[in-house]
Amino acid sequence: MSQDPSLARRRFLLGASALGAGALVVGCTSNDQANANSNQVAAGGGDNDQPGKEVKIGFSAPAADHGWIAAITKNAQAQAEAFKDVKLNATEGTNDVNQQIAQVESLVNDGVDVLVILPFDGKALTATAQEVMDKDIPVINLDRVFDTPLAYRTWIGGDNYRMGVNAGTYIADQMKAKGVSSPIIGEVAGIDSLPLTQERSKGFKDALAKAGLKVGPRVAAEFTAESGEKQTANLLQGATKLDALWNHDDDQGIGVMAAIDSASRSEFIMVGGAGSRDMMDRIKADNTVIKATVLYSPSMASTAVSLARLLGQNKGVADFAEHEIPAFITTYSAVVTKENADSYLDIGFDS
Amino acid sequence: MSDVDERSTVDPEPKPAADQEAVQTGPSGGMRTPSGLRLDLRLAILIGVLIALCVVGYVTAPDTFLSESNISTMLRLAAAIGVVSVGMTFVIISGGIDLSVGSMVALASVWMTTLATQSYGPFVMVLCGLAVGLGAGLINGVLIAYGRVVPFIATLAMYASARGLAERLSERRTQVVTVQGFLEFFRGELIGIPVLIWMLAVVYAIGWVVLNRTTFGRRTFAVGGNAEAARLAGINVKRHTAYVYALAGLCCGIAALMVVARTTSGASTNGQFYELDAIAAVVIGGTLLSGGRGTLIGTLIGVLIFTVVNSIFTQNNLETDIQNIAKGVIIIAAVLLQYSTTRTRKT
């Protein structure tokens, strides 16, 4: 298998879409199995890797003001470079809605075949994306979803609710295994006004409730290391004893870990979120409170570019019976622990 | 903010005579200002507000709020913004404004944590952070003093470009510090008190001496009170203005060391909204936005008030939106309280 360089690419593609079967993870192990079957299943399979017609892909994303978005852009570029028949036209990231609209228009004028876009604000860019679709240019909507399916050919993104659910379930299981009867469970959320934070918190709350537990001390940081440190330092002062802590975001997690270290606290377990390389390394080292992180992986940008290429070449996804690529793809928020960290290091992003 | 704009734009011009009469120039406290009593009353009110907040904190969280570790945590969290506010106090007293402090903290924190800088060890990291802050501040100062750019605009430009450069240098990543020497020292303790708190205390002590007991401080008040009069009195106003902004930059460099130590990382997202927090603390502390009058002790209490509020809200598990509302109310309440005392004395 390792002799075929194109396999890695396909593995990736398949991995991210493995959800179809309710399947597990974006990890390598499960993908290897899928690969073994790949010749037997589905249309369009084997020859997807063969260079085809050149596809010009336009790419637009918000300003990379934190590691996750930076990784989105980098992943898209890396994936495009892996294809000989893809030309990626990436615009400079912006948090200005009007500028992003202008960028999309100039990409269209450039004659891109497919547009991959992570809108700064899904609502504000819906009309623009719909106009692009009306010009018969397929739009792949990354993560922040447009208001109407008319504005995208395919949506691919993460599952914030399940992130919370999986974090909550993991913590509940750990508490049960440790025999802690009424554990105090803390939460360091991201920016509270964002729907994604609300969904994550709701999933977390629901999963804990299912196990008869509830969220105790809770603070909201701002996805930055500095805010994470500040809020966690205060949280730890308020909660003299903790059993578990979920931190929504590994970027701010660097600060959260620093605060825990400053307070010399180690009586609880911590779970991260998003899946940065740094956190995976710390989980693997297993010498601090962090024991797991739930994925919300920017690898979806790589998948989006692969899908854009297939769209441009009128191909389907290998292993899928459908001749067309799906319209809606949700990546799975796997739980990365010490045991399986090695198989996820490849998609851990630099925070 | 429009208030800030207006006042700083008119700064180089001589102030109207009526204004000069109403606004006493000079350091606070002691016998040296005719308005000494008034300023002390302001300070007393501020301290009262701080104590009242501490009482609220104690009542709502009796076990933890006044514990040694919580006080130490609050002071550690106040350290970076506290040091930035020292520089901001000088700038505002001199009749200017600095909107770029947060970005300068970000830039210094990123620059001192690049892999290249880290490879030279802790001393170079510290020097680098300080030098970047000082340099950026000096650029502000030169633009304002010699380039005749209005402070609001010059520092607004630095606000944008310093953070931009920080993003470019770090490639928008959070740069984790691996230099143990740096972490051990700055995250450690000296005689049982965290190093960050020592630094905060030392910066305020030096700042107080410089502002109230040196020619530099006297000149800062003079320039802010009436730049033209200061010039006629033989003060090199331009050079002094440049120095004041450089000082603010240096404070940002020191704050960057603190932020890097606290978060064990440097990132272009550091120092967000520091300019607003620092201006708020300075104004609450009783420093006039139009310049010429102010106190560092007031600034310190202003900083502490915000830190205490943050701690109270977190310990009681209240949401951030309520916290923001409370912050706004406290700013207005503190300023109004002080305003009403000055009013009554004047009429």
Cβ–Cβ below 8 Å for B267 and A70: no
Chain A residue numbers touching B173 (CB-CB < 8 A):
67, 70, 350-351
For A234, the closest of B267, B310, B319 (CB atoms) is B310
pLDDT tens digits for range A149-201:
999 999 999 999 999 999 999 999 999 999 998 999 999 999 888 888 999 99
CB pairs below 8 Å between A and B: how many?
110
**Is 80 exceeded by the pLDDT of residue B227?**
yes
Give which of B172, B252, B308 to mutate to test A binding, by max A Cβ within 10 Å: B172
| CA–CA min distance B188, chain A (Å) | 9
Closest CA to A85 of A57, A55, A115, A60: A55
Look at A2 and B153; give whichever has higher pLDDT.
Answer: B153
Which residue in chain A is spatially nearest to B78 when comparing CA positions? Answer: A230
At residue B38, the pLDDT reads 56
* Predicted TM-score (pTM) of this structure: 0.78
DSSP letters spanning B331-346: HHHHHHHHHHHHHHHH
**Is 70 exceeded by the pLDDT of residue B195?**
yes
Confidence of residue B25 (pLDDT cuts 50, 70, 90): low
Confidence of residue B112 (pLDDT cuts 50, 70, 90): very high
Tell me, letter by letter, the H, E, C secondary structure of A123-184.
HHHHHHHHHHHHCCCCEEEECCCCCCHHHCCEEEECCHHHHHHHHHHHHHHHHHHHCCCCCC
Rounded percentage of chain B residues whose pLDDT exceeds 70: 86
Chain A residue numbers touching B77 (CB-CB < 8 A):
230, 233-234
At residue A12, the pLDDT reads 54
Cβ–Cβ below 8 Å for B176 and A238: no
pLDDT tens digits for range B281-335:
998 888 888 888 889 999 999 999 989 988 888 888 777 778 788 888 888 887 7
Confidence of residue B6 (pLDDT cuts 50, 70, 90): very low
At residue B172, the pLDDT reads 77
Q: How many CB atoms lie within 10 A of CB B185?
A: 14
> Which residues of A touch chain B, with CB atoms under 8 Å apart?
64-67, 69-70, 192-193, 216-220, 222-231, 233-238, 240, 251, 254-255, 257-259, 261-263, 278, 350-351
DSSP letters spanning B78-142: HHHHHHHHHHHHHHHHTT---TTHHHHHHHHHHHTTSHHHHHT-HHHHHHHHHHHHHHHHHHHHH
Q: B260 is written with which tokens? A: 């890097």
Which residue in chain A is spatially nearest to B67 when comparing CA positions? Answer: A237
Give which of B171, B178, B183, B269 to mutate to test A binding, by max A Cβ within 10 Å: B269
At residue A68, the pLDDT reads 84
Chain B residue numbers touching A240 (CB-CB < 8 A):
63-64
Listed by number, the residues of chain B in 196-255 with a beta carbon closer than 8 Å to a beta carbon of chain A are none
Chain A residue numbers touching B195 (CB-CB < 8 A):
none
Closest CA to B242 of B261, B226, B220, B214: B220
| CA–CA min distance B242, chain A (Å) | 30
Q: Is B67 on the interface with A (CB under 8 A)?
A: yes
Chain A residue numbers touching B317 (CB-CB < 8 A):
216-218, 238
Chain B residue numbers touching A225 (CB-CB < 8 A):
174, 263, 265, 267, 269-270
Chain A residue numbers touching B174 (CB-CB < 8 A):
66-67, 225, 251, 254, 278, 351
At residue B157, the pLDDT reads 95
Confidence of residue B34 (pLDDT cuts 50, 70, 90): very low
At residue A43, the pLDDT reads 31
**Is 80 exceeded by the pLDDT of residue B5?**
no
At residue B324, the pLDDT reads 80
Mean pLDDT score, B10-25: 43
Closest CA to A108 of A84, A75, A133: A133
- Sign of CA pseudo-dihedral A140, A144, A148, A149: positive
For A237, the closest of B264, B269, B311 (CB atoms) is B311
Cβ–Cβ below 8 Å for B319 and A220: yes
Mean pLDDT of chain B: 84
Which residue in chain A is spatially nearest to B263 when comparing CA positions? Answer: A255
At residue B312, the pLDDT reads 87
Cβ–Cβ below 8 Å for B267 and A261: no
Chain B residue numbers touching A75 (CB-CB < 8 A):
none
Cβ–Cβ below 8 Å for B311 and A240: no
DSSP strands (E only) in chain A: 55-60, 86-90, 114-117, 139-142, 154-157, 185-189, 215-220, 244-247, 269-274, 290-295, 328-330, 335-337
Low-confidence ranges of chain A (pLDDT < 70): 1-47
For A192, the closest of B167, B172, B319 (CB atoms) is B319
Which residue in chain A is spatially nearest to B259 when comparing CA positions? Answer: A226
Q: Interface pTM (ipTM) of the complex?
A: 0.77
pLDDT tens digits for range B51-89:
988 998 899 888 888 888 889 989 999 999 999 999 999
At residue B347, the pLDDT reads 42
